[in-house]
Amino acid sequence: MLVEGALLSGVTLVGWIGAFHVTTHSFTRYLKSRKWEMSRQHILNMSEAVVSGLQSVVSSVCGVLVVVSCGHNVMRARHSLSTQYAWVMASYFLYDTWAMYQVHLSSLKEGSSSSVRSDVVGRLKSFMQRRTLLILHHLVLAFILVPILIYRDGIGDFFVGCFYCVELSGPFTNMRVVLSRLGLKNTRWYTANGILMITTFTCCRVLVFPYMYLCYGSQHGLGLWGVVRSIPLHCNLGCLLILLPQIHWIRLMVRGALKISRGQHITEAEEKID
């Protein structure tokens, strides 16, 4: 399984990087044909968003298939996609860390930090300072959570499917990037997308945790707190580790939505989209 999984990760890693370059080339040609001026950083940012949206769709489809197939027995029912897609997801998080770094490098080249641009250590340090939470999020998922998903002894495919379904909010999160870069922040499209983004993010990345606990409890005659007390501590801690960043990001989204409703300007830093 290790050899096949590593091969799958390698192939899909090449695929993610290839999709990023193809999307960047397509955006560049389209903007040039329309005679629209846009910085290289923003083009790369949109390309990263498009590939991220693609991964979100694929992950969500896999998640729904696993959840529907395994809902009758949340602990013992099996589906091959629960393990196979974990290898794909690992390659995506490594790719996305690389893609974020490419966007960061582009922002440095277009800025005035020449001393930082010429120093590899300085570039890496500034990147880690700027995207600390996302980098930690990606590395923890790729090197800690993914191995757990793969080496589970065939237990809990239903919950793995629920985990994949958290990406249902991804298309709307990434569409915000594209709309923002195209200068459409003050349109109904941006507002409608924001509402859908917050709604799906709350349901799929926050409420999914009590949903999983309740599903387990319904098949074992336990309430929500009974599940918390009965399952292993590392399961509760793992869920908490994943949940906390989601709460932080939903807080940022709601704060941004409130500013927009008051007619205030939302900066790129506040959107956390670059």
Range of the domain at 186: 2-271
pTM of the full structure? 0.86
Name the region of 262 (left: φ>0; alpha: ψ -120 to 50; beta: rest): alpha
- Summarize pLDDT for 252-267 with one digit per residue, the tens: 888 888 887 777 776 6
CB 182 within 8 A of CB 230: no
Question: For residue 102, what pLDDT is reported?
Answer: 95
Question: For residue 40, what pLDDT is reported?
Answer: 92
Please list, residue by residue across 241-268, b when 16 or more beta carbons sit within 10 angstroms of its beta carbon and e when fewer do: ebeeebeebbeebeebbeebeeeeebee
pLDDT band at 120 (very low <50, low <70, confident <90, very high): confident
Question: For residue 95, what pLDDT is reported?
Answer: 97
The number of folded domains in the chain is 1
- Summarize pLDDT for 176-186 with one digit per residue, the tens: 889 988 888 88
Amino acid identity for residue 230 in this structure:
S
Average pLDDT over residues 240-249: 88
The residue behind tokens 């799906």 is 200
- Summarize pLDDT for 59-78 with one digit per residue, the tens: 999 999 999 999 999 999 99
Question: For residue 256, what pLDDT is reported?
Answer: 82
Question: For residue 218, what pLDDT is reported?
Answer: 95
